[in-house]
A and B are shown apart, each in its own frame.
Chain A
Amino acid sequence: MPRLTVNGKQIEVPAGTNLIEAARHAGVEVPHYCYHPSLSIAGQCRLCMVDIEKAPRPTIACNTVAADGMVVLTETDRVRETRKSIMEFHLINHPLDCPVCDQAGECWLQIYYMQHGLYDPRMTDEKVHKPKAVPLGPHVILDAERCILCSRCVRFCDEITGTGELGIFERGDHSEIGLFPGTELDNKYSGNVVDICPVGALTDRDFRFQVRVWYLETAKSVCAGCARGCNIEVHVNRRRPHHAEGRRVARLKPRVNADVNQWWICDAGRYGFGFVDDNDRLLAPTRREGGTSSDATWDEAIGAVAAALRRLSPDEVGVIASPRMANEDLFALRRLLDICAVRRVGAQVPPRVPGDEDHILIRADKNPNSLGAELMGLGGDARPVLDAARARQLKCLWIFGHDLMASRWPEAEVLEALRAVETIVFTGTNANRTSERAHWVLPAAAWVERDGTYTNFEGRVQRFRQAVEPLGQALAEWEMLDRVLAALGEAPSATRAEHWFRRLATVVPAFAGLSYQALGDTGRLVAGSVAARAPR
């Protein structure tokens, strides 16, 4: 392990560490554009110059490996002057169109100019013009004039997705990034090139012009799009609602978790939040009688569900839980089912189209909490519940989230089951063809509107946090289950999701010792998980 000093501070770093990372160990940030910890070294931007004692001139930190006895200085006059000159080079042909650039506010040209540039422009010649607002694919749009040719996006497509769509074409100040003519940037991870683009060259077609980034608020969360549970940040716009026509969730961004998703998320997860602010959101409890539906109060709805559970024998009640529910919801449900002795329960409903999977992040199981449901004893096949309904054995069927009509189960059999049950209760975020047939509809908060945890396929329990208020009267599932339990005479136990997690951790052995605090920002493995036994 080489020992070196950075700006007078002595540190020891693992062999092979480059000077940008070594400086980070010492709490020193070396400005850079092209370096990215998960991509190969390009040495392209020249901004990360540092002085090394006895070296004749400044050296790029990204491509210099820390060595024993090295004395690194990142703030000498010479380094500062070099940085300033390099900034001037980067900005020679830059259009300086910040007022209309979507990157403004999170642009490293702006940030570094303010920190290290601050020169007066000396360019008197006409700038080189290049293509602007060129859609590269379904999600990414290119402004070649703003590009500083750091090649991060090119290396991402070469080294992470292995798809190689992008290249740097032409030469000198005419160089520009682009696609092989006639092709598209449409790989399953294309949105990540926007994240790693340090400037406004690559922006997000979905997010662009929705809201200025400085109006965004963020919450740490977990993607609910598949069993991987990629760590994300939810960026919401509450301060300028008129900017995005009522769209509250502005975008999802990956959050680094070395054990789960590194720096990345897939496009399906990144752009899969549209349902949160969709017009088909369920906003209030609804009662349907004789073909007409009317709004009800939560008290009426909870009362009706509790009455059915009280009145019916356990075998007349079926529950189709969902591996999309949080651990807290599932445990509250487990508690309710135990009290009522309901045994007809399952959670797995086969999707009509099998999920895609790859060797990067995407999992075929599109549910964020299948393992959690399994550990709670609720992860079983829901088919027996459907069959019981078809056999007219059920008087009440409570469906959480699933659109059974859109499953792989034959539609005729689903319809037969739904018609055969006296009271169908549907709990979910959005209307669907199953909720349309329910007698009671209980609106649920979307995952970005509440707290909770999911257990990913490896057994990692990860927190997601509330980013926006629930729409309308929607409640988290654990909250409505809590109310049903109270109506059945249970002492109210929870005012926060965390309370249910605490109970869960004392009852379900796999969760023993876990708490919200212990989970932190990057999660913890459940006891006995495959990943816990053989860490990657």
Chain B
Amino acid sequence: MSEGDGYPGLTDPATTVFSEAQLAEVRRLQSLYPDPRGALLPVLYMAQETFGWISLPLEEYVATLFGLSPAHVHEVVTFYTLYFREPPGRHVVSVCHNLSCHLAGAPGIIAHLRQRLGVDPGETSEDGRVTLLSVECLCACEAAPMMQVDDRYELNLTPTKVDRILEGLA
């Protein structure tokens, strides 16, 4: 795993810590569950939002907040796909490859994205602009093929529409 390329501070465990306000939020989340461990997922999302991705030192830090061994935090981080274990690009493009989208032309959309970005799904373009992911159903079958760009759904895709969307990404 390559750590921290272009992400200042993230490889230094000393800077990978929460603010007082965030620690208070951690405690609040932990108090919501019969076993405080239940708050591990939301706390990891907090960590990802704060630091961009989940580095190994960050896993170790989160483990200390829960009294867990780092191996158990690593289990959770590696189980779920929405935690980034490497720095993602500035934008994340997740193309649905599930049944409805597949039938409606997702393979062509993915091929087009691969060609335009020069990367395979799971990779980040060389300029650090876009991380391309190919994902399971995002619940927008009525508008297949579709993809998610950061927090936004882009529906009824065509190659032309994809090009326009990509042009809009800084």
Given contacts A181-B1, A181-B56, A182-B56, contact A170 B72 (CB under 8 A): no
Please, which residues of chain A bring their CB within 8 A of the CB of B74? 167, 169, 180-181
Please, which residues of chain A bring their CB within 8 A of the CB of B70? 180, 183
- How far, in whole Å, are A158 and B75 apart by their CA atoms in the complex? 14
Q: Does B78 contact A (CB under 8 A)?
A: yes
Please, which residues of chain A bring their CB within 8 A of the CB of B79? 169-171
Tally the A-B contacts, defined by beta carbons under 8 Å: 37
A168 touches B69 (CB 8 A): no
Please, which residues of chain B bring their CB within 8 A of the CB of A179? 71
Minimal beta-carbon separation of A370 from chain B (angstroms): 36
Q: Does A2 contact B (CB under 8 A)?
A: no
- How far, in whole Å, are A428 and B127 apart by their CA atoms in the complex? 72
Q: Does A407 contact B (CB under 8 A)?
A: no
Contact of A171 among B1, B60, B78 (CB under 8 A): B78
Minimal beta-carbon separation of A170 from chain B (angstroms): 5
Q: Does B103 contact A (CB under 8 A)?
A: no
* Cβ-closest chain A residue relative to B80: A171
How many residues on B have C-beta within 8 angstroms of the other chain's C-beta atoms?
13
Residues from 139 to 193 in A contacting B, C-beta threshold 8 Å:
158, 163-171, 179-183
Minimal beta-carbon separation of B102 from chain A (angstroms): 20
Please, which residues of chain B bring their CB within 8 A of the CB of A183? 70-71
Minimal beta-carbon separation of B64 from chain A (angstroms): 13
Minimal beta-carbon separation of A130 from chain B (angstroms): 14
- How far, in whole Å, are A168 and B70 apart by their CA atoms in the complex? 12
Minimal beta-carbon separation of B29 from chain A (angstroms): 22
- How far, in whole Å, are A501 and B70 apart by their CA atoms in the complex? 52
B78 touches A169 (CB 8 A): yes
Please, which residues of chain B bring their CB within 8 A of the CB of A165? 69, 71
Contact of B75 among A163, A167, A181, A182 (CB under 8 A): A167
* Cβ-closest chain B residue relative to A172: B79
- How far, in whole Å, are A69 and B68 apart by their CA atoms in the complex? 41
Given contacts A181-B56, A182-B56, contact A164 B68 (CB under 8 A): yes
Contact of A168 among B1, B56, B60, B75 (CB under 8 A): B75
* Cβ-closest chain B residue relative to A166: B71
Write 23 A-B pairs (CB below 8 A) sorted by A numbering: A158-B69, A164-B68, A164-B71, A164-B72, A165-B69, A166-B71, A167-B69, A167-B71, A167-B75, A169-B74, A169-B78, A169-B79, A170-B78, A170-B79, A179-B71, A180-B56, A180-B59, A180-B70, A180-B74, A181-B1, A181-B56, A182-B56, A183-B71
